[in-house]
Amino acid sequence: MNTPPILSPLRSPSYAALTAALLLWPGRGHAAELERHPYLQSATNTSIVVVWTTEQDSSGAVEVGPSPDQLTTVVPSAGVGKQHEVLLTGLTPDTRYYYRVIGDDAPLAGGDQAHTFLTSPPPGTPTKFRAWIVGDSGKGNDKQLQVRDAMLAHVGRSQPHIYLHMGDMAYDDGKYDEFTDNFYAPYADILRNTPVWPTLGNHEGASSDSGSESGPYYDGYVLPTAGEAGGLASGTEAYYSFDYANVHFVVLDSHDSNRAPDGPMLTWLQDDLLATEQEWIIAYWHHPPYTKGSHDSDSESKLIDMRENALPILEAGGVDLVLGGHSHIYERSFLLDGAYDTPSQAGVGVLDDLDGSPLGDGPYQKPPGLTGHQGAVYVVAGHGGTGVSQDDEHPLMYFAEAKNGSCVLDIQGNRLSLVNIRYDGEVTDRVAIIKGDGMIVTSPDGGEALEAGQSREIRWTTVGNVPKVELELSVDDGATWTVIEDSIPNTGSYTWTVPAANTEHALVRVSDPEVPARSDESNATFEISSTVTLTPVDFGHVWRYHDQGEDLGEAWHAADYDDSQWSEGPGQLGYGEGDEATELLDADPNHPSAYFRTEIELPEGEMLDAELTARFDDGIAVWINGKEVLAVNVDDGTDHGAWASAETEDDEPVTTPVDLGALHSGHNVITAMVKQSDEASDDLSFDLKLVATVQLEPPPPPPGGGSDGGDDDGGSAGSGGGPDDGGGLDGTTSLGGSGSALPPTVGADDERASGCGCVTRGRTRGSAGWLLGGLPLLVLLGRRRRALAHR
């Protein structure tokens, strides 16, 4: 911590009083300028510390409230200085707040959707949450930014709730300016929303001292020393613990604190582990106990010390996951216990030698609750930006990759999942742990952008005997749920047609219908776009046609016109060029006109755009529902006996926008007339493509709009939303509007459903593959809907 001291909050002082106070402070001859943008520290379920620095001495304050335009509480900083630390207390757990930082008498940052934070859930609650794990990142180079951006792209709107840094965040020597440039600046957009919980790296140790808790590391961070965030009071910021949801995090100092088994740090550790009642224990420090990356855990004393001295205590206390950095690599172990030997031996201490991946051999399994020596996974995440290398394969590591990246950790009740996200966005490793029975959804898992009508695999993995599963969808971050399938065999996957729901807050849940609490949902929200582009008629479409030279008058445009006696065939239709799929009559002399009809079904929704492309020879007119939408070379009219007004070639297709008033949801009739230029023309051609963009209507809300009280360890409406979710204080959102379901019928026997609710009369081939799979959507929308409590 740094001076000035943190003030207790002043609840809702008047703005006038604050302004007066600001104006009375001396030396306010200039507007303050931010140096380090606001960042969040020591977050608990009822408090948080907002920290920022200014280029010059300034006064400071934080305004906070339930929305950017309701920043009703003002808490001043302690006085004039460059670094300001403002403690906000009396907050509500698991609740979103917005804030603005004031410097001297002017706003410095915030007061918008971007400056927001979510308070922690109460300790012990099995609320779903996400953490970002980064180590050895503070180089200020492109790789560091690529790693950051890859994470952001992966998580989408479901940003991490906390940021765990494994140390070495400010190369080369952890000096003040190195912190500013290599840590606070590149992560500013994350740090303003996401509390960071660091551990000291050796590079910070070059300028900071744990014994005296001095230097840029200790000055910049505000960490709990008195058990403020859970756990036991350590009395030092060098090592500490905190609780988040049902996880107890233990942060040790492997660089500059006494690592002896009877030293203060490990004595405190044992006491701290005895005190926690949390379901999960995750520990981290800089020097990893197992590595063969750029450092060797068999030959370097700090790494050996932590393995030989800290691990026996941690494993006896039930640690589940141990994270580290220092070694510039990503490494992930098997499920281990008791592997304290130096050097580490292959197979010694390996409790489970499978891959632990929900997409592979399945997650590692542990007994329910907190037990000791049932195994832990060890991860080296020293790949956050600096140059990476691998010296050897560590015998206890399942996976290693000497490429930059970072990790995302998700916890949901009794399930823990971790992925390694490489700097190029690839997820190269996955591991999961389940305590007791349960299941883990692996896809969609958050961050995906799906399109209504798309065919998509829902995948999950199960531990325990679960013969059947229920699949559900939420479009409002878990506030309500709609059944996809209420009881299907537990095969681990299901081919799902993404329904019409315009949302960025979608989740999928898989549960055991016999034991509803045994369930899992997507770790984070994904997007479903109901703005879909359809091609209800593509080139190659099957048309009914009349080419016998008979004058059909006007009646053939009608929807109820009986064309059952007409012939039918796929495009291209015509004769004379050899490229026809369906050959039409080559009459002598030519008939002036040939007639074509087809019928399509379009889904419920708003027609945003439509475009028609025709290949023809020589003249053409097209009608949709009797309304003319295209006319080329028919200057002499569309009577049967009129000839085309000019010649053309069919290799020059004509594209035209379609009057949106011509198309409508449901049944549509398209009619076309193709004309010859004269009695002697030696060819005729016709083919047509119609593309439409439709904003599908979302499914109606669940009956009553309420919930039916599902399991309580799943979706957190308050925690899932990102900073831009526009939700209220509790972070919940809901889809407005009701809208009607798609037409739950199909027509004649030869009708097939299209991907987005479009149905055609079975006359498609070629590229119109999207047309398949619409029926499940229609069925889905007709199913019972069930709303479940989000918690």
Residues 184-243, interacting with another protein (CB under 8 A): 206, 209, 211-214, 225-227, 232-236
Q: Which stretch binds another protein (CB under 8 A): 22-30, 259-267, 715-723, 748-756?
A: 259-267
Collapsing DSSP to helix, strand or coil, 73 comes out as strand
Collapsing DSSP to helix, strand or coil, 531 comes out as strand
Q: Which stretch binds another protein (CB under 8 A): 291-299, 430-438, 517-525, 628-636?
A: 291-299
For 32-95, where are the E strands, in sequence order? 34-41, 48-58, 60-65, 73-76, 81-88
CB of 206 to another protein, least distance (A): 7
Q: What is the DSSP letter of 557?
A: G
Which residue, 558, 520, 523, 495, is CA-closest to 777?
495
State which residue, 171 or 244, has the beta carbon closest to another protein.
Answer: 171
Alpha-carbon distance of 273 to 250, in angstroms, equals 9
116 binds another protein (CB under 8 A): no
Alpha-carbon distance of 434 to 436, in angstroms, equals 6
State which residue, 172 or 679, has the beta carbon closest to another protein.
Answer: 172
Residues from 468 through 487 that contact another protein (CB under 8 A):
none
Which residue, 428, 410, 135, 164, is CA-closest to 291?
135
CB of 373 to another protein, least distance (A): 4
Alpha-carbon distance of 6 to 23, in angstroms, equals 21
CB of 388 to another protein, least distance (A): 5
134 binds another protein (CB under 8 A): no
Report the residue from 37, 115, 130, 295 that binds another protein according to the rule CB under 8 A. Answer: 295
Alpha-carbon distance of 417 to 695, in angstroms, equals 35
CB of 265 to another protein, least distance (A): 9
Find tokens 């369930």 and name the residue.
519
Instruction: Decide the pairing of beta strands 531-537 and 542-546.
Output: unpaired
CB of 416 to another protein, least distance (A): 17
Report the residue from 38, 317, 574, 722 that binds another protein according to the rule CB under 8 A. Answer: 317
- The answer to whether 144 touches 384, Cβ cutoff 8 Å, is yes
Instruction: Quote the radius of gyration of the chain (alpha carbons, Å).
Output: 33
Residues from 572 through 631 that contact another protein (CB under 8 A):
none
CB of 270 to another protein, least distance (A): 6
State which residue, 287 or 689, has the beta carbon closest to another protein.
Answer: 287
State which residue, 232 or 690, has the beta carbon closest to another protein.
Answer: 232
- Cross-strand bridge partners of residue 418: 409, 431
371 binds another protein (CB under 8 A): yes
Sequence-ordered list of residues with C-beta below 8 angstroms from that of 565, at least 6 positions apart, any chain: none
How many C-alpha atoms does 589 have within 13 Å on its Cβ side? 8
CB of 62 to another protein, least distance (A): 23
141 binds another protein (CB under 8 A): no
- The answer to whether 7 touches 75, Cβ cutoff 8 Å, is yes
State which residue, 351 or 631, has the beta carbon closest to another protein.
Answer: 351
Q: How many residues bind another protein (CB under 8 A)?
A: 73
The CA–CA distances, whole Å, from 364 to 311, 371, 433, 445, 512 equal 19, 14, 5, 19, 20
Query: Taking the mean position of all CA atoms in its chain, how far away is CA 248?
Result: 25
Report the residue from 141, 152, 373, 566 that binds another protein according to the rule CB under 8 A. Answer: 373
Report the residue from 81, 103, 135, 318 that binds another protein according to the rule CB under 8 A. Answer: 318
Residue 146: enclosing H or E segment and its boundaries?
A: helix 142-155
Alpha-carbon distance of 280 to 463, in angstroms, equals 18
State which residue, 188 or 233, has the beta carbon closest to another protein.
Answer: 233
310 binds another protein (CB under 8 A): no
Collapsing DSSP to helix, strand or coil, 424 comes out as coil
Burial 315-327 (b: 16+ CB within 10 A, else e): bebbbbbbbbbbb
State which residue, 72 or 371, has the beta carbon closest to another protein.
Answer: 371
678 binds another protein (CB under 8 A): no
Residues from 381 through 440 that contact another protein (CB under 8 A):
387-391, 393, 397-404
Sequence letter at residue 15: Y
352 binds another protein (CB under 8 A): no
State which residue, 175 or 415, has the beta carbon closest to another protein.
Answer: 175
Q: Which stretch binds another protein (CB under 8 A): 20-28, 47-55, 73-81, 314-322?
A: 314-322
CB of 246 to another protein, least distance (A): 13
345 binds another protein (CB under 8 A): no
Alpha-carbon distance of 665 to 600, in angstroms, equals 10
Q: Which stretch binds another protein (CB under 8 A): 102-110, 332-340, 455-463, 572-580?
A: 332-340
State which residue, 204 or 485, has the beta carbon closest to another protein.
Answer: 204
CB of 152 to another protein, least distance (A): 21
How many CB atoms lie under 10 A from the CB of residue 386? 22
Collapsing DSSP to helix, strand or coil, 174 comes out as coil
Find tokens 């990356």 and name the residue.
293
State which residue, 442 or 474, has the beta carbon closest to another protein.
Answer: 442
Residues from 160 through 189 that contact another protein (CB under 8 A):
173
